[in-house]
A and B are shown apart, each in its own frame.
Chain A
Amino acid sequence: MHIHNRLGMVEGLETMRAQERRLDQVANNLANVDTAGYKRQKMAFWEMLYNVTDDRQRIGKGAHNLIDHQQGNVQQTDKPLDLAINGEGFFRIQTDRGIRYTRAGNFELDPVGQLRMPSGGLVLGQGGPVVLDPAGGEVSIDPQGLIQQDGAPIDQLNIVTVNDLTNLAQEGDNLFRLEDDGAEVAAVDFRVRQGYVEKSNVNSVEEMTAMIDLYRNYQAQQKMIQGIDEMDNLAISRVGKLS
């Protein structure tokens, strides 16, 4: 294994770039502090062995993001079509791109009475999209997701979760996408609350702290690179001099 100070520089650079990604994430979390059902992103770093050309190896930085699926605060809105899930699970949503999942329960009716998200995805019940009678009376939804209109049962919300939450990726429009090796499982431990919406789970104090932390980390790496530069400078100008 070759060791030389170039490696320190590369490491410093990698760490700086990772901190930039982290800031992108913090900025995205803060931008979505008021987005219904938004889940904050975190980043995990670990060390890993990279193969470099001509069989040299070095230790580098691996990074990937984690979605923090902790429940956000639930806010009362008193709108009959605002639904929050207390506990596990997601609303199943039918979009043009396939089935998606969301915790953002700020639903509305479209002109034909289908329950949908503001961005257009249709909320699925047991047998396809939930359709309410636009001319009908009051809609009530019980904790198990059973939808009743004028006291008559209409449909039951299809609330599911996935075998491993890390298989969910954020897609924008308040939706999650199931990655290839994920599988749906029925949600058990949940209660649907009508007239409430789950807010974003971004905690502003945590994000501000992360911002301070990553900034100082970035500065420290800069100093390290400058230190290596200083060593190089000395090597160039001093090595071989007698006095």
Chain B
Amino acid sequence: MMRALYSGTTGMRAQQLQLDTISNNLANVNTAGFKKSRTQFEDLYYQEMRAVGVENVDGGQVPSGLQVGLGVKATANQKIFTQGSINETGNDLDIAIEGKGFFQVIKDGQEFYTRAGSFTRDADGFIVTQNGDRLQPEFQIPEETVSLHIGADGLMQAKDAEQEIIAEEQLTIFDFVNPGGLHAEGGNLFRATEASGDPREADPGTEGVGVLLQRFTEVSNVEVTEELVNLITTQRAFEMNSKSVQTADQLLEVANTLKR
């Protein structure tokens, strides 16, 4: 059968995947710390279609190199870690990272990384994410605390009514060689993989990682207009690929009616 049928199908499938990515980006337009994804494509193998052994009258070979491509494949869904805009919330436990880096949290004994810095306090006074996973290094806020100060350099200080420091902890953040290789786990969490490299721990503001901003959150880096334009081009590209399939079908119909 004609390759065009299948090449067209690969194109439709690729555009469908792109649509899934765009929908997910749009759905998370208001998710704190969310990072948008982009689907990356590559062309598939090329089939060599030489007219083997055919000679022209001068005894020369027919110029070879008739290559027909077999369509497209999606290779990667890269996360784009550009900075989202930073909003003031006034909440003491909202921390935004301005620059590179992730917070580390422990969930079910495993390490995960996030940029969604809207934390809260659990029953024991530990700083946790909205899902109850503890921020690392752990910090237990004493009960008699009246104010909590988190500096740009990550120093967390709990003060009592007399402005005495009653507990202190250095918050560190983590960076990766290739953040694009992190595995998105859902729940705003990422997991380190072979492609992302091992996490590198640093105090905020040192070794190229970002600084902390207390009482701010980082919103999603999805831009609605950009996604909508991508949505339009995806839909049109899908339609064009469906035309390849349709035309291949029409050619087959013409071929079928050769014999009356």
Q: Contact residues of A with B, CB < 8 Å?
A: 16, 19-21, 23-28, 30-36, 38, 41, 48-51, 57, 62-65, 77-79, 104, 106, 108-113, 118-119, 134-137, 169-174, 179, 204, 207-208, 211, 214-215, 218-219, 222, 225-226
Which of A27, A28, A35, A136 sits near B42, CB closer than 8 Å?
Answer: A35
Which of A26, A63, A211 sits near B66, CB closer than 8 Å?
Answer: A63
B65 contacts A by Cβ under 8 Å: yes
Q: Is the Cβ of A62 less than 8 Å from the Cβ of B244?
A: no
How distant is A241 from chain B, measured CB to nearest CB, in Å?
A: 22
| Chain A residue with the shortest CB-CB distance to B200 | A135
B67 contacts A by Cβ under 8 Å: yes
25 contacts across the A-B interface (CB closer than 8 A): A20-B4, A23-B247, A23-B251, A25-B69, A26-B4, A27-B3, A27-B71, A30-B8, A34-B15, A34-B233, A35-B42, A35-B72, A36-B40, A62-B63, A63-B66, A65-B67, A106-B78, A110-B177, A111-B195, A137-B208, A169-B46, A171-B46, A173-B75, A211-B247, A226-B258
User: DSSP class of B's interface residues: helix, strand, loop or mixed?
Assistant: mixed
Contacts of B237 in A (CB 8 A): 30, 33-34, 204
Q: Is the Cβ of A172 less than 8 Å from the Cβ of B56?
A: no
Question: Do A31 and B75 form a contact, CB below 8 Å, given A24-B2, A41-B69, A65-B65?
Answer: no
Contacts of B3 in A (CB 8 A): 24, 27-28
How distant is B43 from chain A, measured CB to nearest CB, in Å?
A: 5
How distant is A16 from chain B, measured CB to nearest CB, in Å?
A: 7
Which of A24, A48, A113, A135 sits near B62, CB closer than 8 Å?
Answer: A48
Distance between Cα atoms of A204 and B49 in the complex (Å): 25
Question: Do A219 and B254 form a contact, CB below 8 Å, given A27-B248, A111-B195?
Answer: yes
Contacts of A31 in B (CB 8 A): 7-8, 10-11, 14, 69, 71-72, 241, 244
Q: Contact residues of B with A, CB < 8 Å?
A: 2-5, 7-8, 10-11, 14-15, 18, 40-46, 49, 54-57, 62-72, 75-76, 78, 80, 82, 175, 177-178, 180-181, 194-198, 200, 207-208, 233, 236-237, 240-241, 243-245, 247-248, 250-251, 254-255, 257-258, 260
Distance between Cα atoms of A70 and B255 in the complex (Å): 35
Contacts of A179 in B (CB 8 A): 65
Q: Is the Cβ of B56 less than 8 Å from the Cβ of A51?
A: yes
Q: Is the Cβ of B258 less than 8 Å from the Cβ of A25?
A: no
Contacts of A136 in B (CB 8 A): 208
Contacts of B44 in A (CB 8 A): 172
| Chain B residue with the shortest CB-CB distance to A171 | B46
Contacts of A23 in B (CB 8 A): 2, 4, 244, 247-248, 251
Contacts of A171 in B (CB 8 A): 45-46
Question: Do A27 and B258 form a contact, CB below 8 Å, given A63-B66, A172-B45, A208-B243?
Answer: no
Distance between Cα atoms of A134 and B248 in the complex (Å): 49
Q: Is the Cβ of B244 less than 8 Å from the Cβ of A21?
A: no
Question: Do A109 and B177 form a contact, CB below 8 Å, given A169-B46, A215-B251?
Answer: yes
